[in-house]
Structure formats: C-alpha cells, structure tokens
A and B are shown apart, each in its own frame.
Chain A
C-alpha cells in the first residue's frame, strides 16, 4: 500500500516537470506532436525503470559509506560517495546505449519510431535527477523501482498533455515575441497550477 501511495505521489503530486523542472529541455523541444511525445515518454519510462534500481544497487553496495564492507574488513570505512555523479551518468549513458541496441534487435519498428530520441534520453535531467533524489531520500530497493517507474509515467503524462495543447495552438494568433517558447512556458505554468490541486490527495 505504501508503495502504491509513493507511486501516486511521484506521478501527480511531485511530478518531475511541474514540481522539479526536470527534463525540461526535451519536454519543450519534443512536444510539438502527440505521437512523438508518446514515443519519447515511453522511452523515458523504460530507461528510468531500469536505471534507478541499478543506481540504487551501485549506491548501496559500492558508493555508500561502509558499503564496501562485503569485500573485506579493510574496506569497512571507505566512502566513495564523491564518485556518484560519474558512476550514475556512466550507468545511464551505457544503459541508453544498451536499450538502443536491444530495441534495434528485437523490434525494428519501435526502433524506427524511437530511434532519434534514445540518445537524447542520456542527457535528460529527469533520469539523473531521479537517481540523485533516490539517494537523497533513502529509498529501499522496492521504493526505488516504484519511484523510477512512476516518475516516468508522470513525465509521459505531462509531455503528452502539453503536446496536445500545442497541436491546437498552431492555429491561434499569438504575438510575435510570445510565439513558441514564451507561450509554452506560460502554458506549462498554468498546467502546473492545475497539477497543484493534487497536493490535497491524502497519500
């Protein structure tokens, strides 16, 4: 039940985009069409669900203070936490590469539609951000997995909703300076306001 609550919380209340601004670059750049937005969102969910638990394992058994105790008593006090950025980003970059190769092998059709977005995911702040939050908040392994998966869902929800709005906006008459990014930021603000109402959820 707690895990379910955590999932709901990460999707709606602490949405990656509206509460933490993570993954904004691709959120703004790839939200012009609903179909591509769904593709990118699915890829983000996939990568997040794999990398967050993987980074949890690395954090727990390699980086944390005393985590290397399983190698022998002389390592009991080693603290490698300063290496976390490099290791996490390496895990993410190689996972993205791996996912790309696997998808290409198993489902060329899906690869064709996702292809260009997969490399983009490596520098999506939502992925690295989730891993760093997971460390900050001391999640267990199960919590980390649920957190990764539902953060991805929240991200997909946000980008698809924005893409749907922007498709309609194509036909509106907007002041020149506000066209594109300016208006998108204002809309994101309004969507964030709507998402704020989920704070009332008792989870």
Chain B
C-alpha cells in the first residue's frame, strides 16, 4: 500500500512539471466539442434523453446541468480507476458509476425541486443511457489522466447543453410564446401572435433539431458521407 502511494506521488510530481494548467492542447480538449466536434450535431450521440425535455427552457436547463454534472464526475471517477478495471467488465463498471451519479442527481432534485422532478420524470433516469456519457468514458476517460478527463467531460457536456438549450429556446418561443416562462410576444406588443401546437409536440423537436444541425454544419463546414 505504502509503495503504491509513493509511486503515485512521484507520478504526480512528474506530471506537474510537464504541462501548464490550461495548455494549448487542453484548451483544445475543452473547446472542440463545443462546435467542430459537437456531441449532438456531429457525433450523433445523446439525442435520446435530450429531446423529450426541450418543450420549455427551465426543465431543459436543469437537464443540461444534470448531464454536465454526471459526465464530468463519471469521467473523473473512471479515469481514476481506469487501470484497476479489467477490460472484460468495463461496461458494467461504467454503467454502475453512471447509475450511482444519476441516482444522486435524482435524489437531490427530488429533495429540493419536487415540481421539476415530476416534470422530468423518467427522463432523469434516462441520463444513464445517454450515449454521450458512455461514449466519452469509452473513448476518452479509459485512456487519459483525470484532469484531462474532467476538461473533456466539461467540453462535451457544454457542447450538449447549448444545443438542447437552442432547441428549447425555439420550441418554447414558437410553441408557447415565452422564454423561461416570460411572455415575449405580449411584452413587445404582439399579443395576437398564435402558438404553433406542432412545436410543443415531439415533431417540433425533430424539425427544429434537424434545422439547427443544418445551420451548425453549414457554418462549421462538416459534411457527412
């Protein structure tokens, strides 16, 4: 036990010398998923549990925060234990870590904001099967150091968050005429603006996301074969 800790401290000492706190490479890890390598629009991950909550801005924000929390901490934990986990059982270990963190989120939400917990319902539990989280654990945290993994998780989480917030913005604005519950049309004198029922429905989410993907990909120049 003592030799192990000694080795670890030595390793940490070596690491500290090697790289800045926010070196160029690390900034890239953080910023890539925001646009060029966005988890939703480019990697096509994590669409499952995201769309259903984007009818209104507020639950979407809660969902985004929950996902960022889970992805950062699961990346950190898996990265810390990556050398202890046998390859054959890694999926189960990853799922167990994610499920524990999601349970934590769900209990906290239940305790402090029960109304929102009821609105989100089963979809909080479905963060477990959000492919972004599994994907980042497999692709990044299993082979990288803890601090890098935190940055990667943060980047992917925020890349996911801004897309679903954009979807929610348009769906709430066009479907309910408000943003965060604030009546936009009424306050700028357009009280006759009709609400588009399709936007509240699931179909609106597909169409809005499809269009956002189109715009985002045209801007970043990504073409799928």
Residues of A within 8 A of B (CB): 18-25, 28-29, 82-86, 88-90, 93, 119, 122-125, 127-129, 132-133, 136, 175-186, 188-189, 192-193, 196
9 more contacts with CB within 8 A, not counting A90-B99, A193-B203, are A21-B202, A125-B48, A179-B225, A182-B214, A182-B217, A185-B206, A185-B207, A192-B203, A196-B203
Across the interface, do A86 and B96 meet the contact criterion of CB distance under 8 Å?
yes
| B62 is an interface residue with CB less than 8 A from chain A | no
Q: How many residues of B contact A (CB 8 A)?
A: 48
Across the interface, do A86 and B99 meet the contact criterion of CB distance under 8 Å?
yes
Q: B45, B125, B224: which contacts A179 (Cβ < 8 A)?
A: B224
Across the interface, do A181 and B44 meet the contact criterion of CB distance under 8 Å?
yes
| B116 is an interface residue with CB less than 8 A from chain A | no
Cα separation A169 to B106 with both chains bound (whole Å): 41
Cα separation A196 to B206 with both chains bound (whole Å): 14
How far apart are A91's CB and chain B's nearest CB, in angstroms? 11
How far apart are A101's CB and chain B's nearest CB, in angstroms? 13
Identify which of B73-81, B126-134, B140-148, B150-158 touches chain A: B126-134
| B215 is an interface residue with CB less than 8 A from chain A | yes
Cα separation A88 to B225 with both chains bound (whole Å): 37
21 residue pairs A–B, Cβ–Cβ below 8 Å: A21-B47, A21-B50, A25-B48, A82-B106, A82-B107, A89-B129, A90-B99, A93-B91, A123-B95, A123-B134, A125-B126, A128-B129, A132-B122, A176-B217, A176-B218, A179-B224, A184-B210, A186-B206, A186-B211, A189-B207, A192-B203
Cα separation A180 to B95 with both chains bound (whole Å): 29
Q: Tell me the total A-B contact number using a CB cutoff of 8 A.
A: 137
Across the interface, do B44 and A125 meet the contact criterion of CB distance under 8 Å?
no
Cα separation A22 to B128 with both chains bound (whole Å): 13
Chain B residues with Cβ under 8 A from A181's Cβ? 41, 44, 213, 224
| B166 is an interface residue with CB less than 8 A from chain A | no
Q: B122, B209, B214: which contacts A178 (Cβ < 8 A)?
A: B214
How far apart are B147's CB and chain A's nearest CB, in angstroms? 26
Cα separation A12 to B121 with both chains bound (whole Å): 22
Chain B residues with Cβ under 8 A from A180's Cβ? 224-225
Cα separation A95 to B203 with both chains bound (whole Å): 33
The interface bits of chain B over 14-45 (1 if a CB of A lies within 8 angstroms of the residue's CB, else 0) are 00000000000000000000000000010011
| B159 is an interface residue with CB less than 8 A from chain A | no
Q: B44, B49, B51, B225: which contacts A29 (Cβ < 8 A)?
A: B44
